Amino acid sequence: MSEAGATTAAVEDELARYGAMARDAMHAYLPEAEPRRHLWSLVAEYPGRGGKAIRPALCLASTVAFGGEVEEALPSAAALELLHNAFLVHDDVEDASLLRRGQPTLHAEHGVPLAVNAGDALVILAGAALRDNRRLLGTRLATRIGDEFELMARRTIEGQARELGWRRDVACDLEPDDYLDLIMHKTCWYTTIHPLRVGALIGSFDRVDLDSLVRFGFYLGAAFQIQDDLLNLLGDEAKYGKESCGDLYEGKRTLMVIHLLNETNGKDRRALERFLALERPQRTAADVAAIVELMRHHGSLDFAQAFGQGIAEAATDAFEAAFAEVPDSPERHFLRDLIAWMLERDA
């Protein structure tokens, strides 16, 4: 196995270990109650399908790297995973997605009404998990974490609104900077920045500057999202768990779409704009294949890959700045190794 391959395997072992801890913590908040068939079994559906556990892993590793114990961060990690699952359920409705973690989306299986309601329940359960921090960490720290959580949720919802707005308004005048600004809100805040900050808050007992983690989290989250966009186009559907090219069917403004918008004119540009103006059910497999072909022809995939590598470089710099005072530890190593893993992962 190559050195990079060994690192990838080690990162994935750690993700699995943290993921199992966070899953146990999260499952303790899923009620065994009635009505099961129309609510609580739906609520347990996505959490039971697993996931990469990037968010809780970041939160738990950051806690330990900054001097705390894993156990101190478990309710915060559970709250984040519960909110993440709530967002997945609602996003799947909003995006009319068909597959999630290799199985039909919740609304595809149970209809939009029960799915929206189950998503609401997951938000309330996240609040219940958060409130356990008082007992564990005391009022002052629990309050700080609650403030962070609220900020993160607002940012995420704002990012989602902006992206839905782009699609609704058939936005075509976009630059890579617009993409970065969007995913800062939509992805980074809750995938990387928030878990890192909460870990630092808990681990240091609110004694470190959280701002330096925004920069690192932003680049790390951007690398994650760019790779996610690429896997959506190129990945193995069975491994990746979402429908292949689902982002294109949904009309998402990925980095590749934005690159293509800026690289084409004449006939190709008109074909792309026409495609983006369609409603989702009108987009055919042939339409999607034609756009992927345009992307290959105009170098949009290479562009996104190269852009992702640049972002990963920036993430490494930002990591060194943010963790300059943090003593060496397996958790510090893991957080640094995550940068490369973001672009190497195939699921």
**5 or 111: CB nearest a copy of itself:** 111
Among 12, 52, 117, 172, the residue binding a copy of itself under the rule CB under 8 A is 117
Rounded to whole angstroms, the Cα distance separating 20 from 207 reads 29
To the nearest 5 percent, what fractions of the chain are helix, strand and coil?
A: 80, 0, 20
Neighbouring residues of 19: CB distance < 8 A, sequence distance ≥ 6: 50, 51, 52, 53, 56, 57
Determine if 234 is a binding residue for a copy of itself (CB under 8 A). no
Which stretch in 63-71, 112-120, 235-243, 322-330 sits in contact with a copy of itself by CB under 8 A? 112-120
Please give the residues from 3 up to 32 whose contact with a copy of itself meets the rule CB under 8 A: 31
Total of chain residues touching a copy of itself, rule CB under 8 A:
44
Determine if 131 is a binding residue for a copy of itself (CB under 8 A). yes
Determine if 118 is a binding residue for a copy of itself (CB under 8 A). yes
**5 or 31: CB nearest a copy of itself:** 31
Neighbouring residues of 14: CB distance < 8 A, sequence distance ≥ 6: 57, 61, 334
Q: Which helix (H) or strand (E) holds 82?
A: helix 74-95
**117 or 305: CB nearest a copy of itself:** 117
Q: Taking the C-alpha atoms of 300, 302, 307 and 308 in order, what is their torsion angle to the nearest 10 degrees? A: 110
Determine if 136 is a binding residue for a copy of itself (CB under 8 A). no
Rounded to whole angstroms, the Cα distance separating 237 from 245 reads 9
Output the DSSP codes for 275-304: HHHS-GGG--HHHHHHHHHHHHHHTHHHHH
**Amino acid in the structure at residue 344:** E
The minimum distance between CB 234 and a copy of itself, in angstroms, equals 26
**259 or 283: CB nearest a copy of itself:** 283
Which stretch in 126-134, 198-206, 217-225, 315-323 sits in contact with a copy of itself by CB under 8 A? 126-134
3-state secondary structure of 99: strand
Output the DSSP codes for 138-183: -HHHHHHHHHHHHHHHHHHHHHHHHHHHHHHTT-----HHHHHHHH
One symbol per residue from 198 to 217: x for binding a copy of itself (CB under 8 A), - otherwise; what is it? --------------------
Neighbours of 314 (CB within 10 A): 17
Please give the residues from 280 up to 299 whose contact with a copy of itself meets the rule CB under 8 A: none
Q: What is the DSSP letter of 104?
A: E
Determine if 38 is a binding residue for a copy of itself (CB under 8 A). yes
One symbol per residue from 168 to 187: x for binding a copy of itself (CB under 8 A), - otherwise; what is it? x-------------------
Determine if 252 is a binding residue for a copy of itself (CB under 8 A). no
Instruction: List, as own/partner pairs, every contact residues 7-10 make where C-beta atoms lie below 8 angstroms and the sequence separation is at least 24, other chains included.
Output: 7/337, 7/340, 7/341, 8/340, 8/341, 8/344, 8/345, 10/337
One symbol per residue from 82 to 101: x for binding a copy of itself (CB under 8 A), - otherwise; what is it? ----xx--x--xxx------
The minimum distance between CB 274 and a copy of itself, in angstroms, equals 21
The minimum distance between CB 133 and a copy of itself, in angstroms, equals 12
Determine if 305 is a binding residue for a copy of itself (CB under 8 A). no
Determine if 39 is a binding residue for a copy of itself (CB under 8 A). yes
Rounded to whole angstroms, the Cα distance separating 161 from 106 reads 21
Determine if 150 is a binding residue for a copy of itself (CB under 8 A). yes
The minimum distance between CB 119 and a copy of itself, in angstroms, equals 8
Instruction: List, as own/partner pairs, every contact residues 271-274 make where C-beta atoms lie below 8 angstroms and the sequence separation is at least 24, other chains included.
Output: 272/172, 273/170, 273/172
Binding-site ranges for a copy of itself (CB under 8 A): 31, 33-35, 37-39, 86-87, 90, 93-95, 111-114, 116-121, 123-124, 127-128, 131, 134, 139, 143, 146-147, 150, 153-154, 157-158, 160-162, 164-165, 168
